[in-house]
Amino acid sequence: MAEENKTTKTPRTSRKKKEEVKTNNTPSTSLLREHAEQQFAAEIAELEKVDKRHRPPNWKLSPWAVTTYLLGGELENGFEISPKYIGDRRIIEIAVATLTTDRALLLIGVPGTAKSWVSEHLSAAISGDSTLLIQGTAGTSEEAIRYGWNYAKLLADGPSMAALVSSPLMRAMEDGKIARVEELTRIPADVQDTLITILSEKTLPIPELGSEVQANKGFSVIATANDRDKGVNDLSSALKRRFNTVVLPLPKTAEEEVEIVQRRVETLGRALELPAEPPALTEIRRIVTVFRELRSGVTEDGKTKIKSPTSTLSTAEAISVVNSGMALAAHFGDGSLSAGDVASGLIGAVVKDPVQDKLVWREYLETVVKERDGWGDLYRACREVS
Ligand SMILES: Nc1ncnc2c1ncn2[C@@H]1O[C@H](COP(=O)(O)OP(=O)(O)OP(=O)(O)O)[C@@H](O)[C@H]1O
Ligand SMILES: [Mg+2]
């Protein structure tokens, strides 16, 4: 029990750092990864300044400003807000509108469709805090969702508010903020149901103290769930009814996907201070093309059918193929991304099942990559690796 108790409290790291204001393109921090509200503090502050629209109780920004923060745009004073989510505007509008009602938001989609990313940025823009997070696993306990006890205090003084260790969800209720539940469907069904009272009654009973914590205005929950995990612990219909579900799709067009990869690789490269030049668009376009063709089972021109591998080939993986390629280029190459730098990453992303996927990849390599104009270097680099 005492062990479990530890997991109920996520560490609130580097509070002081949070107050520093930074611009979003200088890596003026020693942190490996900043929270969204730290990294984009300047953008949020600028939006707060120009935002004259109605803000729901306890929201830092109006729904319009939150949407602008996510989708990017130029403010009337000329300040540029970078896009965080690239895709259908309506999806973000529906997500934001949901959070202004008494319903919670459930983001679902295949792996790597930015569910966690959107959830983090929404909480950063709405509550200024994306850290009230519960990571769902098969081992997530009720205490992780409700509260636990500091057993030393409990034994010494008996049950009291001081001996209670609140969960991120409880803190979100007290402060009127957004709580995030990651991978909701991985949580065992009976533990998931703990959320029902919280979401419908907006209260968290503490029977040991004959007391309760009532949610303040501004409280809501953003949960994420992976399509592929569905069925493992399918959501109960009672819980489902308390959520508005928004599906995050795979990028519709190749251009959209190229833009996502390009933007993320640029920011990641900057944050990691990789001494490599940003990759050429043509190299990113090639990788995205390989991913999209294998995913859809047909070549871009629609002429050749190909087999799809078992791997998900998400945009997130395309980002990491380019990123690892850049690290190779920076430290062991000439600093600019070449086919040789991406080949092994590409094969690693495609071939997850050593037998089946290997055949699929071989066939794709020999029938598509080999024959395509200007792809000779990629073909040779992949042949060398596999
Ligand atoms: N439409 C998109 N717009 C912007 N970024 C995107 C988009 N799709 C994917 N990404 C990028 O992909 C990366 C992975 O996203 P994220 O981890 O949020 O995926 P996820 O849906 O939570 O996946 P999983 O189901 O594996 O948890 C992020 O870095 C994000 O920037
Ligand atoms: Mg996720």
pLDDT tens per residue, range 92-116:
999 999 999 999 999 999 899 999 9
Give me the domain span that covers residue 78: 2-247
Predicted pLDDT at 30: 86
Distance 110 CA to ligand 1 centre (A): 10
pLDDT at 225: 93
58 shares a domain with 130: yes
Average pLDDT, integer, range 194-202: 94
Residues 96 and 168 grouped into a single domain: yes
Distances in whole angstroms, Cα of residue 4 to Cα of each of 69, 137, 188? 37, 13, 16
Cα 24–37–245 angle (5° rounding)? 115
> Residue 229's pLDDT is what?
63
Indicate if the pLDDT at residue 86 is higher than 50.
yes
DSSP 251: P
Does residue 174 sit in helix, strand or coil? helix
Distance 339 CA to ligand 1 centre (A): 25
Residue 294, pLDDT score: 96
Among 84, 92, 116, 228, the mutation site with the greatest number of ligand 1 atoms within 8 A of its Cβ is 116
Domain boundary among 247, 263, 291: 247
Which of the listed residues 205, 224, 247 is the one where a domain comes to its end?
247
Q: Quick one: 52 and 173 in the same domain?
A: yes
167 C-alpha to center of ligand 2: Å?
20
Distance 116 CA to ligand 2 centre (A): 4
> 341 and 241 in one domain?
no
Q: What is the pLDDT of residues 222-267, one digit of tens each?
A: 999 987 765 545 788 888 889 999 999 999 999 999 999 999 998 8
Residues lining ligand 1, judged by CB closer than 6 Å? 85-87, 109, 111-117, 224, 226, 251, 260, 264, 315-316, 319
CA of 77 to the centre of ligand 1 (A): 30
Three-state secondary structure call for residue 80? strand
Residues 220 and 316 in one domain: no
Place of tokens 């969960």: 167
> Does residue 324 sit in the same domain as residue 280?
yes
What is the CA(108)–ligand 1 centre distance, in A? 12
Q: In this structure, are 173 and 283 located in the same domain?
A: no
Q: How many domains does the chain have?
A: 2
Which pair of tokens denotes residue 327?
A: 């690290």
Q: Is the pLDDT of residue 47 over 70?
A: yes
Q: In angstroms, what is the span from residue 138 Cα to ligand 2's centroid?
A: 15
Mean predicted lDDT score pLDDT of the chain: 89
Which residue owns the Cα nearest ligand 1 atom 28?
114
Separation of CA 206 and ligand 2 centre (Å): 31
Question: Which atom of ligand 1 sits closest to the CA of residue 109?
Answer: 21
Output the residue whose Cα is nearest ligand 1's atom 12.
316
Q: Which among 247, 280, 315 is the end of a domain?
A: 247
From the CA of 83, which ligand is nearest? Answer: 1
Enumerate the β-bridge partners of residue 298: 305
Is the confidence at residue 126, as pLDDT, over 70?
yes
- pLDDT attached to residue 19: 41
Nearest CA to ligand 1 atom 7: 114
Same domain (yes/no): 291, 207: no
- Quick one: 230 and 319 in the same domain? no
CATH number at residue 167: 3.40.50.300
Mutate to test the pocket of ligand 1, among 118, 315, 317, 321 (most ligand atoms within 8 A of CB): 315
Beta bridge partners of 104: 243
Same domain membership, residue 303 and residue 371:
yes
pLDDT at 339 over 80: yes
Are 173 and 277 within one domain? Answer: no
The answer on 353 and 226 residing in a single domain is: no
Mean pLDDT of the 62-75 span: 97
The answer to whether the beta carbons of residues 107 and 153 sit under 8 Å apart is no
The answer, yes or no, to whether residue 18 has pLDDT greater than 90, is: no
Q: Which of 180, 253, 260, 266 to mutate to test the pocket of ligand 1 (most atoms within 8 A of CB)?
A: 260
Helix, strand or coil, per DSSP, at residue 244? strand
Q: Residue 160 — very low, low, confident or very high, per pLDDT cuts 50/70/90?
A: very high
Tokens of residue 384, six digits? 């060398």
In this structure, what token pair is assigned to residue 284? 């990113």
Give the residue whose CA is nearest to atom 15 of ligand 1: 114
Q: Indicate the pLDDT class of residue 270, thresholds 50, 70 and 90.
A: confident
Cα gap 68→287, rounded to integer Å:
30
